[in-house]
Amino acid sequence: MVRRVDLPFKCDYARSAGLEARTFKGSAFKGGANGGQIGPRGATENAEVTAGGLPEKVTKKKFPLLVWSAATRRRTPKSIIAGVAASEAIDQAPASHLNDPTVKIQTAEIRHIALPLITPWRTAYGEDAAIHSVLVRLTSDGIEGWGESCPLYAPTYSPESALSAYETCREFFLPRIVGREFATAADLAACLAVFKGNPFAKAAAETAWWALHSKRQGLPLWRMLGGAQSTTRCGQDFGVQNTIDDLLALIGKAVDEGFPRIKLKVKRGWDIEVLEAVRGAFPAAVVHVDCNAGYDLHDDWATLKAFDRFNLAMIEQPLSDTDLIDHAELQSRITTPVCLDESIKSPRDFRLALKLKACRVVNVKPGRVGGLFNAIQIHDLARDAGMPAWVGGMLESGVGAAICAALGTLPGFTYPADIFPSRRFYARDITDREIQLNARHCVELGDGVGVGFEPIPERLEAVTVAKASFPAP
């Protein structure tokens, strides 16, 4: 079967499996004897790829969605093997699957989606008008589980983009796992270990496995991960605003509402003056800054040193994602804790950071580190080192945000997470439940089996950019 492509953006790439180089250009697909068609290996169900289902305000813009600017210690929760849960949760799954940890992945589906934001999200990388994400659905014995990974539209946060993660997962990862059995997340990770890097693409499939596995075991995902409670406390975040007064108004509202901490995106030209105003208005608030790798140790030393003046909880990812040594030097020269985000893509990266003393806090995002199995290992390493850790997010849909919230229930995540109410960013989320915060600013996950937030088919279809299916072998 074939896949016809009608993507409203340009992307050049060549396949490594013997296929000739192809080019997306404008809204038409060029290249090859089929004149705009490709037959993806492993995808036997026809999958049409168009922008026709997207909301009008997205398709009108033709996706000018981003303006650019400058092997491990393993911990497998006992519940993975035992499948022990409260009777209320067990009753929600077919009894034949309980205490059987083996999951045979029978079918798979993958989607690249674009969720329009209510207002653009601005960081040191640029500006996003929509969040591009990859969702994977895995099935086994009539049960399905959805996972999500959100690398964003362009490879600015990491070397991956939503398009590259979608294509890599579709072309390589899903064909490798459909039809196979996996008893643990470690088994799945070993199966995909032959493929180098691509943690966001791996996380899309891996988080779907966890969702499916937890449903089969009759457990909420947070229990499967070893969570201590069914809630995750969250902070408030603010991107780069039009004016400092606009930012102060937003912070004032968050402080009045009692949020436990405030995170501010900073970049060159939006940093010291902003912090002087913020600390002048809110001297006692718990505040940290996120630099999104926007500074250089030598060129920006004066600014980096000046951050010490503002009693910040941490400076998140001040330098390039590859600069562990420079981060270690920076941490030795300033008193404010450095938190690593983009630099930690695996448990191995974090072990190196610990050895180098490159940080005093670590941020953990399932997508960035290749999934929940690796995220748990990093949590354990931080806990054993006595280092504060916390869960980050990528503005995922309700599916991915709930997965992050489930991870955040682990006891070693002590700093409030980056998980946001659906209505803060989206006019309409794709899930049957919205992400909401209670009076204590916690996401309440409850005792329902699996992730607990399922895509509504019509809503999912409306924001789908591309999709492919993998039937049973």
Q: Is residue 20 part of a domain?
A: no
Q: pTM of the entire structure?
A: 0.80
Active site residue 355: no
Mean pLDDT on 22-27: 28
Which residue from 71, 194, 1, 137 is spatially nearest to 450, judged by alpha carbons?
137
Mean pLDDT of 17-34: 28
Let me know if residue 300 belongs to a domain: yes
Average pLDDT over residues 68-89: 31
Q: What is the mean pLDDT of residues 157-163?
A: 95
Percent of the residues in the chain that have a pLDDT greater than 90, as a whole number = 74
| Residue reference for tokens 């950071």 | 353
Per residue in 204-217, pLDDT tens? 999 999 999 999 99
pLDDT in tens, 166-210: 999 999 999 999 999 999 999 999 999 999 999 999 999 999 999
User: Over 60: is that where the pLDDT of 10 sits?
Assistant: no
- Residue 178's φ and ψ, nearest 5 degrees, are -65, 130
Looking at residues 17-26, what average pLDDT do you find? 28
Q: What is the pLDDT of residue 473?
A: 86
Number of domains in the chain: 2
Residues 437 and 301 in one domain: yes
Asked, for residue 409, whether it belongs to a domain, the answer is yes
Q: pLDDT, tens digit, for every residue of 239-268?
A: 999 999 999 999 999 999 999 999 999 999
Q: What is the pLDDT of residue 439?
A: 95
Tell me, yes or no, whether 47 lies in a domain.
no
**Averaged over 103-131, what is the pLDDT?**
90
Do 256 and 182 sit in the same domain of this protein? no
In the predicted structure, residue 49 carries a pLDDT above the cut 90: no
pLDDT of 415 higher than 70: yes
Confirm whether 267 is a catalytic residue: no
Residue 268 sits in the same domain as residue 151: no
| Average pLDDT of the residues in 406-424 | 95
Q: Which domain holds residue 450?
A: 224-455
Q: Which pLDDT band holds residue 126 (cuts at 50, 70, 90)?
A: confident
- Asked whether residue 385 falls in the same domain as residue 463, the answer is no
pLDDT at 83 over 80: no
Instruction: Judge whether 277 lies within some domain.
Output: yes
Beta bridge partners of 316: 290, 339
* SS3 annotation, 351-399: HHHHHHCCCCEEEECCCCCCCHHHHHHHHHHHHHHCCCEEECCCCCCHH
In the structure, what pLDDT confidence band is assigned to residue 96 with cuts at 50, 70 and 90? low
Torsion of CA 315, 319, 323, 328, to 10 degrees: -40
Q: Is residue 2 part of a domain?
A: no
How much of the chain is in helix, strand and coil states, percent to nearest 5?
30, 25, 45
Mark whether 180 and 262 lie in a shared domain: no
* Percent of all residues in the chain with a pLDDT value above 70, rounded to a whole number: 79
Single out the catalytic residue among 202, 215, 267, 365. Answer: 365
Whether the pLDDT of residue 457 is over 70: the answer is: yes
Q: Is residue 231 domain-shared with residue 185, that is, in the same domain?
A: no
Q: What is the CATH number of the domain that holds 181?
A: 3.30.390.10
DSSP 8-state code for residue 142? T
CA dist 407 and 415 (Å) reads 13
The single residue of 265, 267, 345, 467 carrying the catalytic annotation is 265
**Residue 71 covered by a domain:** yes
Range 440-463 average pLDDT: 96
What letter represents residue 103's amino acid? Answer: V
Q: Note the pLDDT tens digit of each residue in 312-365.
A: 999 999 999 999 999 999 999 999 999 999 999 999 999 999 999 999 999 999
Question: What's the whole-number average pLDDT of the chain?
Answer: 83
- DSSP letter at 52 equals T
pLDDT of 194 reads: 97
Residue 265: closest CA among 108, 392, 415, 402: 392
Query: 255 versus 120: which is more confidently predicted?
Result: 255
Distance (Å) of CA 283 to CA 237, 261, 312? 17, 13, 10
Residues 254 and 291 in one domain: yes
pLDDT in tens, 212-240: 999 999 999 999 999 989 999 999 999 99
Range 14-30 average pLDDT: 27
Same domain, 287 and 387: yes
Highest mean pLDDT among 70-74, 127-131, 427-431: 427-431
DSSP-derived 3-state class of residue 198: coil
Q: Could you tell me if 110 and 205 lie in one domain?
A: yes
Q: Are 136 and 109 in contact (CB under 8 A)?
A: yes
Asked whether residue 59 falls in the same domain as residue 126, the answer is: yes
Q: What's 245's domain CATH number?
A: 3.20.20.120
| Same domain? 180 vs 247 | no
DSSP 394-433: ----HHHHHHHHHHTTSTTB-SPB----HHHH-SS-SBSS
For residue 441, being part of any structural domain is answered with: yes
pLDDT band at 98 (very low <50, low <70, confident <90, very high): low
Q: Same domain, yes or no, for 160 and 285?
A: no
